């Protein structure tokens, strides 16, 4: 169930209006200048209901399409571009504009109450926004977003609901398509600036094509545009493209051509992108445009065979290279599938709300340390997550609480980003010493920051932060992995003593680096490959590492941490086992690591022995390399 903005429930309000025989007039977004602008006034605007503008108003006329969208005086092409993407996905459109048939104008005017509602995803939850149907007009024409059909009003009413969400219409005059797409779908926004992606590197060049292709195939909404100043919006740029107007990617092809096609086209492979111009005004006129010589070189049979088709008016193809040379920005809204009962890839989602706090120094209210260049970086909020498969694609999105309404007082977005480090597999307390950095997002002044990275099995810590220290704010962190990531905040600095027990005396970090010359098993056909892994045991806690495949000489870098009450009496035990498909596992040997005391990291070469009293003195093949660090300050590691 969605949350209701201002406590306004559409059903109850409509019922009350019908009972009283009155059209709804929204007290929370009244028809006055405050709902229009925060920095100016326009006394020529009149608020009118659709029935005053045409004889037979409709929410939707002849289906939903991109033709229903014209930006009006606000010049908010970013919003209109997002709406055009939404219009191409009926299921998503129906989520934003629910119960369309029930909301539609009826012939029986006694059942019409002048009230509508829309749903937007904001900051981790769906919000239901109620509006009346009073719209800003001049000379009996809509001032802002409107349809080409004079009696169709879904786009104008949707814009009004979105303006109410942001505080006023003027707040929609500038924004980002990717942010609106997130609001419409609950997806994850990725903003790509082409010139900053180092696509001269051949590997990155082709990887970006494949990433875009996968996004399109997964039904992500991909919007591209030519960036420009506000005064240039709508001007025709290179070979027919319009500056500032969003284009939607509808298909992508990488095709190996047969010899006949290669001769006709002059290349072995085709890397093509199909785009849709929502405004249907101008199309690309360069290579692979509708009437270009490239098309003339292929027969209709060839075009059909390799899937080069047009789906809608206003669609056109262009070569990938031309695409990169002309478009400056690519916004991707990943519509993340979290349904495990699906044939397509599903994701496990973790939603974590947090705050950067600027309270008393050294307390849990002091959580705004700035980026990793600052010595206070580890004061920021920290979150662990696990990668449990051998290698997994991890998507992370950091979104700050939107302060767009604060433009009235000159405020804007903070510069935000996040840092990911590898930590011990059993880490439960906050990190006090920087660990191995595995990824870091860019730091930008944006509502959200996105990063996709491949990570091997381990536990990781994400540290979201503002660019500079001592900046407060709320944020939402979303983590997507294939298997459950068990993501959670790290809140405590260290373990404490219980009511009836003493607390830990020391903290010890154990890094099982590698083993050499482990015992290989013998089968009917000779030596059988082993798949060794380590298990670390300390004072009742057991931590199992990831196995290495087919080797007697594994490199693990398996990290663990223990808070020890009896370090002198109870040594650390490292057992080595081999993963076995037939039975549970084969024991290969163990090492006993006595207490060393406080000191810098020390690598020990350990001999392996058998288990139990009978085999404790029997030496096993191989040796183990373990790095040990111990400190009596529990916050030193």
Active site residues: 245, 277
Nearest of 632, 578, 571 to residue 606 by alpha carbon: 571
State CA 361 to chain mean position distance: 32
Round to whole Å and give the CA distance between 396 and 346: 15
Number of H helices, E strands in the chain: 13, 31
Q: 76 with 243: CB under 8 angstroms? A: no
Kindly state the tokens that stand for 53. 């503008």
User: How many beta carbons lie within 10 A of that of residue 522, not counting itself?
Assistant: 9
Quick one: which of 383, 387, 343, 344 has its CA closest to 480?
A: 387
DSSP state letter for 181: H
Residue 401: other Cβ atoms inside 10 A: 15
Q: Which two tokens stand for residue 622?
A: 């191989």
Displacement of CA 236 from its chain's centroid (Å): 33
Residue 6 is given by DSSP the state G
Rounded-to-integer distance, Cα 616 and Cα 575, Å: 12
Q: Which two tokens stand for residue 140?
A: 């009996």
593: its two tokens: 């690591």
Q: Write the CA distances from 429 to 352, 493, 614, integer angstroms.
A: 17, 6, 39
Measured from the Cβ of residue 32, the count of other Cβ atoms closer than 10 Å reads 9
Q: Which residue has the tokens 């939607």?
A: 248
* Cα-based distances in Å from 604 to 65, 610, 622: 68, 19, 14
């Amino acid at each position: 169930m969605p949350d209701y903005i201002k406590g306004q429930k559409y059903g109850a309000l409509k019922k009350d209006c019908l009972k009283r025989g009155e059209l709804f007039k929204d007290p929370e977004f009244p028809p006055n200048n405050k709902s229009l602008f925060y920095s100016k006034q326009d006394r020529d605007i009149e608020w009118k209901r659709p029935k005053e503008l045409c004889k037979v108003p409709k929410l939707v006329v002849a289906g939903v399409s991109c033709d229903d969208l014209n930006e009006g005086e606000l010049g908010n092409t970013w919003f209109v571009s997002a709406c055009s993407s939404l219009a191409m996905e009926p299921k998503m459109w129906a989520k934003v504009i629910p119960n369309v048939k029930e909301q539609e104008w009826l012939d029986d005017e006694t059942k019409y109450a002048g009230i509508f509602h829309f749903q937007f995803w904001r900051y981790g939850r769906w919000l239901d926004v109620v509006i009346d149907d009073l719209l800003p007009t001049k000379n009996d024409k809509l001032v802002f977003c409107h349809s080409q059909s004079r009696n169709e009003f879904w786009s104008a009413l949707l814009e009004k609901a979105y303006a109410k969400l942001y505080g006023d219409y003027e707040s929609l005059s500038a924004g980002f398509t990717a942010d609106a797409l997130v609001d419409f779908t609950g997806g994850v926004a990725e903003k790509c600036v082409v010139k900053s992606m180092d696509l001269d590197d051949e590997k990155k060049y082709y990887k970006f094509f494949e990433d875009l292709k996968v996004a399109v195939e997964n039904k992500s909404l991909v919007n591209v545009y030519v960036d420009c100043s506000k005064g240039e919006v709508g001007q025709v740029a290179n070979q027919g493209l319009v500056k500032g107007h969003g284009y939607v990617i509808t298909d992508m092809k990488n095709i190996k051509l047969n010899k006949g096609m290669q001769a006709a086209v002059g290349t072995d492979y085709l890397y093509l992108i199909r785009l849709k111009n929502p405004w249907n005004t101008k199309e690309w006129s360069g290579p692979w445009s509708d009437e270009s010589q490239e098309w003339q070189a292929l027969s209709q049979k060839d075009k059909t065979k390799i899937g080069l088709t047009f789906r809608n008016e206003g669609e056109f193809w262009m070569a990938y290279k031309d695409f990169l040379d002309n478009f400056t920005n690519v916004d991707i809204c990943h519509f993340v599938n979290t349904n495990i009962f699906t044939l397509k890839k599903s994701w496990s989602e973790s939603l974590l709300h947090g705050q950067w706090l600027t309270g008393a120094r050294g307390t849990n209210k002091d959580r705004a340390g700035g980026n990793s260049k600052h010595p206070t970086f580890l004061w920021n909020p920290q979150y662990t997550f696990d990668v449990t498969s051998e290698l997994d694609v991890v998507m992370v999105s950091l979104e700050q609480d939107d302060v767009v309404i604060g433009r009235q007082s000159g405020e804007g977005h903070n510069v935000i980003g996040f840092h990911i480090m590898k930590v011990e597999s059993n880490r439960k307390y906050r990190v006090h010493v920087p660990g191995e950095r595995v990824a870091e997002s860019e730091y930008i002044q944006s509502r959200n920051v996105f990063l996709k990275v491949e990570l091997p099995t381990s536990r990781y810590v994400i540290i979201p932060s503002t660019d500079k220290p001592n900046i407060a704010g709320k944020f939402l962190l979303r983590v997507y992995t294939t298997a459950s990531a068990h993501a959670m905040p790290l809140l405590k600095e260290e373990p404490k003593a219980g009511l009836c027990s003493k607390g830990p005396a020391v903290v010890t970090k154990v890094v099982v680096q590698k083993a050499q010359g482990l015992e290989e098993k013998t089968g009917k056909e000779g030596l059988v490959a082993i798949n060794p892994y380590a298990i670390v045991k300390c004072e009742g806690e057991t931590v199992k590492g990831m196995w290495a495949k087919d080797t007697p000489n594994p490199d693990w870098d398996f990290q663990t941490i223990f808070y020890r009450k009896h370090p002198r009496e109870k040594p650390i035990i490292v057992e080595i086992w081999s993963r076995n498909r037939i039975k549970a596992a084969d024991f290969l040997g163990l090492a006993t690591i006595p207490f060393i005391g406080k000191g810098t990291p020390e690598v020990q070469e350990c001999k392996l022995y058998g288990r139990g009293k009978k085999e404790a003195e029997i030496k096993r093949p191989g040796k183990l390399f373990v790095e040990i660090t111990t400190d009596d300050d529990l916050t030193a590691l």
